[in-house]
Amino acid sequence: MTIRFYPPVRNRMFSMPRLCLALLFAALLNAQGTPARPKLTGLAHIALSAHDFAASRAYYRDFLGYEEFATLPKADGSVGTAFIKINDRQYIELSPENQPGTDRLKHIALETENAEAMRLYLKSKGVAVPDATPKGKSGNSNFMIKDPEGHQVEIVQYEPDGWSMRDKGKAMPATRISTHIRHMGLIVTKLEPMRKFYEEVLGFTETWRGSKDGKVLSWTNMKLPESDDYIEFMLYPAIPDLSAQGTAHHICLEVENVAAQTAILEARPARALYKRKLEPKTGVNGKNQVNIYDLDGTRAELMEPRTANGKPVPPSPAPPPGM
C-alpha cells in the first residue's frame, strides 16, 4: 500500500468558513440557553393603601358597586387586605396604610401563563428575581420585580386552586360601574429606560403618545404583548408632589357609555358621601371619560374604548420632559 503525504492546507483558506461555523454554533448555544418569554395575558391587579381603610372599602363597595371576594387578616384579627373584584382575572388589592403621607400605590401586577418560566426568562435578561417562585397566601404563584423607576411589579400565575379561580364567577354584581381595568398609570421621569425595559424585556409595544399642551409629551401608552390592556406612562421631569401622585398613579375602568355610567353614580345613595363633582369630558385622546377619586385622591378614570367621533387621534410628536 502506498502512503501519500499531502502538504498541510493553509489556515487562511478555511478561516472564513470556520468563523461562520463558530458564530453559528455560538448563536445556537445562545438560543438554547435563553429561555423564551412566557405570555403576559393581562393586567391582574393594582395594590393600594388607604388612610381611612373602612371609608375606602365603602367607597369601592357602595359608590362604585364592587364586592370583595376575599380578605386577609392582620395579627390582631382585623382585615389587613381586601380583594375588590373587577372581574374573574382583575381586582384591586386594598390595605391600610403603613405610614401617613406616602404614595398610595404599592404595586401593580401582570398575569402570566407560567410564573416560574417568567422568573427564569427575566433572570436570563439580568433582572433581579427571587431564587424560586413561591405560592402566595392567595394560592397563586407570584414574585416581585422592580422596573427602572423603582415601581414594584408583581408577576402572577393564577393556579387552579388559587382564590381567583376558586371563586370564578362569584362576587361580580350588576352594580359594578365597570367590568374591566383597561390600563394603569405609572409615574415616569426617565422615559427611555422604562420604554426599553417594558418593550425589550417584557415585550410591550408602544401604541400612542399624548401631550396636554402640544409642547411636551405627557403620556406614553405601552400595550401588553398578549393583551389589549396597557400601562400608561405618566411623564414628569421629576416625581410630583404627593398631592398629585394619586392623579398620576391611577386605573382606567373601561365603560361603553360614560354619560350613562355617570348618571348611575349620580343616582346612588352613596353619592351624598362623595364630595367631588362628576364632570364628563372628552380627553386629549379623543375618548369620553370622567374622573373619580377615592378618599386618598387615587384616580379611577371611567373611559370609553373608542374616540367620540370615531376617528383616531394622531400621536403627539412632542419630546418627553427634560429634552
Residue 25 predicted with pLDDT over 90: no
CA 233 from centre of chain:
10
152-206: pLDDT as tens digits: 999 999 999 999 999 899 999 999 999 999 999 999 999 999 999 999 999 999 9
As a whole number, mean pLDDT of residues 128-152 equals 97
pTM: 0.89
As a whole number, mean pLDDT of residues 221-229 equals 98
Q: Which H helix or E strand runs over 123?
A: helix 115-124
**Edge-to-edge strands of the sheet including 90-96?**
67-73, 79-87, 90-96, 40-50, 105-112, 152-157, 141-146
Residue 12 predicted with pLDDT over 90: no
**What is the reported pLDDT for 37?**
97
Residue 14 predicted with pLDDT over 50: no
Distance CA 248, CA 190 (A): 15
81-136: pLDDT as tens digits: 999 999 999 999 999 998 888 899 999 999 999 999 999 999 999 999 999 999 99
CB–CB of 283/289 below 8 Å?
A: yes
DSSP secondary structure letter of residue 13: G
Lowest-pLDDT range of 5-19, 29-43, 223-237: 5-19
Dihedral angle over CA of 248, 252, 256, 257, nearest 10: -30
**What is the reported pLDDT for 72?**
94
Coil, helix or strand at residue 265:
helix
CA 204 from centre of chain:
11
Per-residue burial over 125-158, b = 16 or more CB atoms within 10 Å of its CB, e = otherwise: eebebeeebeeeebbbbbbebebbbebebbbbbb
Residue 219 predicted with pLDDT over 90: yes
Q: What angle do CA 46, 200, 33 make, to 5 degrees?
A: 110
Q: Average pLDDT of the chain? A: 91
CB–CB of 258/289 below 8 Å?
A: yes
pLDDT range class, residue 22, cuts 50, 70, 90? very low
281-314: pLDDT as tens digits: 999 999 999 999 999 999 999 999 999 999 999 9
| Nine-digit cell string for 80 | 389587613
The domain 40-307 is placed in CATH, from the list 3.40.630.10, 3.30.390.50, 3.10.180.10, 3.40.50.11290, at: 3.10.180.10
Residue 34 predicted with pLDDT over 90: no
Pairwise pLDDT comparison (260 vs 27), residue with the higher score: 260
Dihedral angle over CA of 109, 114, 117, 120, nearest 10: 10
Phi, psi of 32 (to 5 degrees): -75, -30
Distance CA 176, CA 68 (A): 12
**What is the reported pLDDT for 32?**
56
**What is the reported pLDDT for 2?**
43
